DNA sequence: GTCATCGATTGATCTAGGTCAAGGGCTTTG
DNA sequence: CAAAGCCCTTGACCTAGATCAATCGATGAC
């Protein structure tokens, strides 16, 4: 796998990710223009909740910069992350009017939004936008199911390695690898958020990260800055059959 | 919640579920007719694999009767069920040409199929079919994410209760509850398949079912026939916040 | 400069669920 | 009807990860 393979085809031009990833892969210019007219930006601070599960959600959006999470919670407080939104990811449920999960900004966040109503009208008027949405939803479904394998069957160490691989791959899509072939990135999540992602406790996350560091699978500068000297080794630790998979 | 609430609006007429659930909620008669012309039936025996992950899959289909499962496997044999197909469920990935999971018939199975190519053309020609597909895929995504909460955060007992609740609800959609308000159904899965669904071992499944029986949450006639005297009690054991959720 | 606060680490201990092993009904086959 | 498979149950034990608790920086407030 080369660095080129990691580059999502969608991020090579323009300023607003939604143009490429979500909607406009095959847009004619006049449709693009209508989208441009519809879009607006919103910012959120780290920690801020964007919508609560069950709330009315009258927009769809694409993450421009920053990280957000989708989480589900039980009455007693147990929480499970069910989606991780990285830059260029899409959020929103055309055809549904309430949110099914809590959406929370875990870093400062910039989102490119469209009011849902006109977006849906545009979807109906421009069938291939609907097709694109279907494709993206299928991607999300694949990611969710890969994640289910992780939650149900992987060990704590494999879970951590999987998460690191996902973030490394997504991050490498934006930057290039260092000259020596090392992958370098910052963890966008606290230990607690990682635990909620992986179905673990934050203590176990901390221990396993320490273990991977001790065993030379990763290097750590500070608490968040990670260097992966050998990505294949990391994939191996993750127990991933497919090196491609896991779209998130 | 009444029994009426449990009835999917889609199963009240006709002989072929795909007509209702998957595609034709708003079909005009000529489109319906074209679909009728396209469809064909396939049968599989219990235990038979329908497609292997990675194989070419040149059809989409809807389950008419019987049960099928979607599973993912690691090289060392650990397996996780990622989807459960009950009658009227749709399977297939318009726009993708290979299967992402193993699809296996766990009982004798009758499916109503459409060759993928003409189905996709129909989808393009009839936008609201695409919309319906998007809606169904969003439902599946919701189910997958509910399932993630189960896998990541629920105890073994809660997992079992959740699964029983899902099957009971789906089964009750087809039959009515017994006069005394009890729900009665047959488990469509072996203990092993339940374990693969829930991220447990078959021994733990067996023990927890025994425990629920001992505690009067369920009654068992034989190994598979289940009576639920009090559905709310079961939901309570499942730890479900929403009594609605979990579409599968 | 001191005191909170927040995230992270690390240790000690406990336990839910996994693992290994031995039957116990069933159905199917010859 | 014996033999062989399945599928399921139950018991005895073990371990991965949870829980409880102490400590350690950073960072920021006053």
Nearest by Cα to B239 from B157, B167, B133, B171: B157
Question: CA-CA distance, B97 to B90, in Å (whole number)?
Answer: 16
Q: Return the pLDDT at B145.
A: 96
* pLDDT per position as a tens digit, B148-194: 999 999 999 999 999 999 999 887 655 656 666 688 999 999 999 99
**Of A75, A80, A141, which is closest to B144 when you measure between CB atoms?**
A141
Of residues B64 and A4, more confidence is placed in B64
**Do A99 and A61 lie in a common domain?**
yes
Interchain proximity B149–A80, CB inside 8 Å: yes
- What's the mean pLDDT in B130-156? 92
Sheet of A59-65, strand order: A40-44, A109-115, A59-65, A90-91
Look at residue A199 in the predicted model and tell me its pLDDT: 97
* Cα A61-A63-A69 angle, rounded to 5 deg: 95
Domain termination residue (choose one: A115, A133, A149): A149
The residues facing A183 across adjacent strands are A228
Tell me phi and psi for residue B82, to 5 degrees.
-120, 0
Number of domains, chain B? 2
Is any Cβ of chain B less than 8 angstroms from the Cβ of A122?
no
**How far apart are alpha carbons B17 and A213 in whole angstroms?**
53
Compute the distance between CA of residue B101 and CA of residue B55 in angstroms, rounded to an integer. 9
- Give the domain-ending residue among B115, B149, B183: B149
Are both A31 and A118 inside the same structural domain? yes
Q: Report the first-to-last Cα separation within chain A, whole angstroms.
A: 19
B76, B84, B91, B149: best mutation site toward chain A, by most A Cβ within 10 Å?
Answer: B149
In a domain? residue B246: no
Give me A14's structure tokens.
């323009």
In a shared domain, residues A119 and A59: yes
**Same domain membership, residue B230 and residue B140:** no
Quote ipTM for the complex: 0.87
- A145 and B83 within 8 Å at the Cβ level: the answer is yes
Q: Are A90 and A124 in contact (CB under 8 A)?
A: no
Half-sphere exposure of B181 (CA within 13 A, CB side): 7
Q: What is the pLDDT of residue A29?
A: 53
Is A4 among the domain residues? no
| pTM for this predicted structure | 0.87
Would residue A175 count as lying in a domain?
Answer: yes
Nearest residue in chain A measured CA to CA from B236: A75
Model pLDDT, residue B2: 27
Residues on chain A touching B134 (C-beta within 8 angstroms): 94-95, 130, 133-134, 137
Of residues A4 and B238, more confidently modeled: B238
The answer to whether the beta carbons of residues A150 and A91 sit under 8 Å apart is no
Supply the pLDDT for residue A15: 41
- Is there a contact between A164 and A234 (Cβ–Cβ < 8 Å)? yes
Same domain, A28 and A78: yes
H or E element, residue B112? strand B109-115
Quick: pLDDT tens for B14-59. 344 344 444 444 444 566 667 777 888 899 999 999 999 999 999 9
Which class for A215: exposed (0-12), middle (13-18), buried (19 or more C-beta within 10 A)? exposed
Q: Is the CB of A210 under 7 A from strand C?
A: yes
Please list the ranges in chain A whose pLDDT falls under 50.
1-28, 243-248
Does A103 lie in the same domain as A35?
yes
Provide the CA A91 distance to its chain's centre, in angstroms. 10
Q: Which domain holds residue A51?
A: 9-149
Who's near B241: CB < 8 A, 6+ residues apart?
A: A73, A74, A75
Q: Which DSSP category does B17 fall into?
A: T
| Same domain? B97 vs B182 | no
CATH number at residue B112: 2.60.120.10
Domain stops at, among B149, B176, B208: B149
The answer to whether A241 and A235 are in contact (CB under 8 A) is: no
Examine residue A246 and state whether it is found in any structural domain, yes or no.
Answer: no
Chain B residues with CB-CB distance to A141 below 8 A: 137, 140-141, 144
Residue B165 in any domain: the answer is: yes
The answer to whether B172 contacts chain A (CB < 8 Å) is no
CA distance linking residue B248 with residue B245, whole number of Å = 9
Q: Given an 8 Å threshold on Cβ–Cβ distance, is A74 in contact with B241? A: yes
Q: Indicate which CATH number applies to the domain containing A227.
A: 1.10.10.10
> Per CA to C1' distance, which residue is closest to D6?
B190
Give A195-204 pLDDT, tens digit per residue.
999 999 999 9
Within-domain flag for A218: yes
A106 in Cβ contact with A69 (< 8 Å)? yes
Q: Looking at the complex, does the CB of residue A229 fall below 8 Å from at least one CB of chain B?
A: no
Any domain includes B189: yes
Burial class (CB in 10 A: 0-12, 13-18, 19+), B91: buried
B134:A135 CB<8 A: no
How many Å apart are CA A231 and CA A247, to the nearest integer?
17
Residue A26: partners with Cβ closer than 8 Å, 6 or more residues away: A128, A132
Residue B119 dihedral angles phi and psi, to the nearest 5°? -65, -40
User: What whole-number distance in Å separates Cα of residue A114 and Cα of residue A151?
Assistant: 33
CB A149 within 8 A of CB B149: no
List bases in chain C with any atom under 7 Å of a protein Cβ: 7-12, 16-21
Residues B107 and B164 in one domain: no
pLDDT per position as a tens digit, B193-231: 999 999 999 999 999 999 999 999 999 998 999 999 999
């Amino acid at each position: 796998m080369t660095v080129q393979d990691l580059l999502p085809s969608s991020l090579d031009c323009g300023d607003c990710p939604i143009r490429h990833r979500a909607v406009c892969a095959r847009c004619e210019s006049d449709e693009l223009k209508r989208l441009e007219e519809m879009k607006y930006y919103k910012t959120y601070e780290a920690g801020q909740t964007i919508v609560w599960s069950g709330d009315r959600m009258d927009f769809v959006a694409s993450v421009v910069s920053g990280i957000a999470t989708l989480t589900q919670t039980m009455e007693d407080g147990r929480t499970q992350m069910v989606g991780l939104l990285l830059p260029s990811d899409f959020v929103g449920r055309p055809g549904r009017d309430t949110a099914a999960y809590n959406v929370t900004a875990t870093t400062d966040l910039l989102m490119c939004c469209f009011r849902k109503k006109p977006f849906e009208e545009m979807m109906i008027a421009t069938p291939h936008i609907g097709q694109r949405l279907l494709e993206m939803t299928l991607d999300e479904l694949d990611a969710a199911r890969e994640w289910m394998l992780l939650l149900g069957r992987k060990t704590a160490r494999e879970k951590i390695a999987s998460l690191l691989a996902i973030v490394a791959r997504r991050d490498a899509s934006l930057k290039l690898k260092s000259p020596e072939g090392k992958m370098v990135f910052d963890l966008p999540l606290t230990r607690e958020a990682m635990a909620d992602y992986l179905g673990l406790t934050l203590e176990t996350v901390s221990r396993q990260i320490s273990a991977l560091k001790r065993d030379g699978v990763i290097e750590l500068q500070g608490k968040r800055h990670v260097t992966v000297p050998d990505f294949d080794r990391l994939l191996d630790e993750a127990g991933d059959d497919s090196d491609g998979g896991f779209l998130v």
